[in-house]
Amino acid sequence: MAQAITVTVNGTKRTKDVEPSQLLVELLRDTLGLTGTHVGCDTSQCGACTVLVDGRATKSCTILAVQTDGAEVVTVEGLAKNGELHPVQRAFASEHALQCGFCTPGLMITAVDFLARNASPSDAEIRHAIEGNLCRCTGYHNIVNAIRSAAAMMTMSAQSKVAAEVKR
Partner 1 sequence: MTTATTTTYIGTRLQRKEDPRLITGSGLFTDDVTLPGMVYVSLVRSPHAHARIRRIDTSAATKEPGVVAVLTGKDLEATGVLPVFISVPKQSTSKHMPIATDKVRYAGDAVAAVVAETRDAAKRAADAVTVDYEPLPVVVDATKALEPGAPIVNEELGTNLVFTYPVKGGDIDKAFGDAEVKVSLHLVNQRLIANAMEPRSAAAKFEAGELTLWSTTQIPHFVQLIASLNLGLSQNKVRVIAPEVGGGFGSKLQVYAEELLVGHLAKTLGRPVKWTEERREGYLATVHGRDLVGDIEVAAKRDGTILGVRIRTVANMGAYLQAFAPVSATILHAFIIPGPYIIPAFDIEIRGAYTNTTPVDAYRGAGRPEAIYAMERAIDRLADEIGMDPAEVRRKNFIPPDAFPFNTITGITYDSGNYAPALDRALAMADYKGFEKRRAESKGRGNYRGIGISSYVEICGLAPSKANSALGVGWGGYESARIRVHPTGAVQVFTGTSPHGQGHETSWSQIAADALGISPNDIEVRHGDTFESPGMGVGTFGSRSLPVGGIAVHKAAEKIREKVIQIGAHLLEASPDDVVIEGGKVFVKGVPEKAKNFGDVSMAAYVANNLPAGMEPGLEATVYYDPPNFTFPFGTHVAEVEIDGETGAVELVRYSACDDCGRQINPMIVEGQLHGGIAQGIGQALYEGAVYDDNGQLLSGSMMEYHVPTAEDVPAFKLDHTVTLTKTNPLGVKGVGEAGTIGSTPAVVNAVIDALSPLGIKHLDMPLTPEKIWRATLKSKGEGKR
54 lies in the binding site for partner 1 (CB under 8 A): no
| Residues 33-52, mask of contacts with partner 1 (x by CB under 8 A) | xxxxxxxxxxx-xx-x----
Helices (H), the chain: 24-26, 87-94, 104-117, 123-129, 141-167
| Residues 110-129, mask of contacts with partner 1 (x by CB under 8 A) | -------------x--xxx-
**Half-sphere exposure at residue 94, Cβ-oriented, CA atoms within 13 angstroms:** 14
Task: Determine how many CB atoms are found less than 10 A away from the CB of residue 4.
Answer: 10
Minimum CB separation of residue 159 from partner 1 in Å reads 25
Question: Using an 8 Å Cβ cutoff, are 133 and 60 in contact?
Answer: no
Minimum CB separation of residue 44 from partner 1 in Å reads 9
Give which of 43, 50, 48, 42 is closest to 137, Cα–Cα: 48
- Interface pick for partner 1 out of 64, 134, 152, 153 (rule CB under 8 A): 134
- Of 66-74, 139-147, 149-157, 160-168, the window that binds partner 1 (rule: CB under 8 A) is 139-147
- Rounded to a whole number of angstroms, the CA Rg of the chain reads 17
**Window 85 to 104, contacts with partner 1 (CB under 8 A):** 85, 89, 92-94, 96, 98-104
Please give the distance of CA 67 from its chain centroid, rounded to a whole number. 18
Q: Which residues bind partner 1 (CB under 8 A)?
A: 29-30, 33-43, 45-46, 48, 75-77, 79-80, 85, 89, 92-94, 96, 98-105, 108, 123, 126-128, 130-144
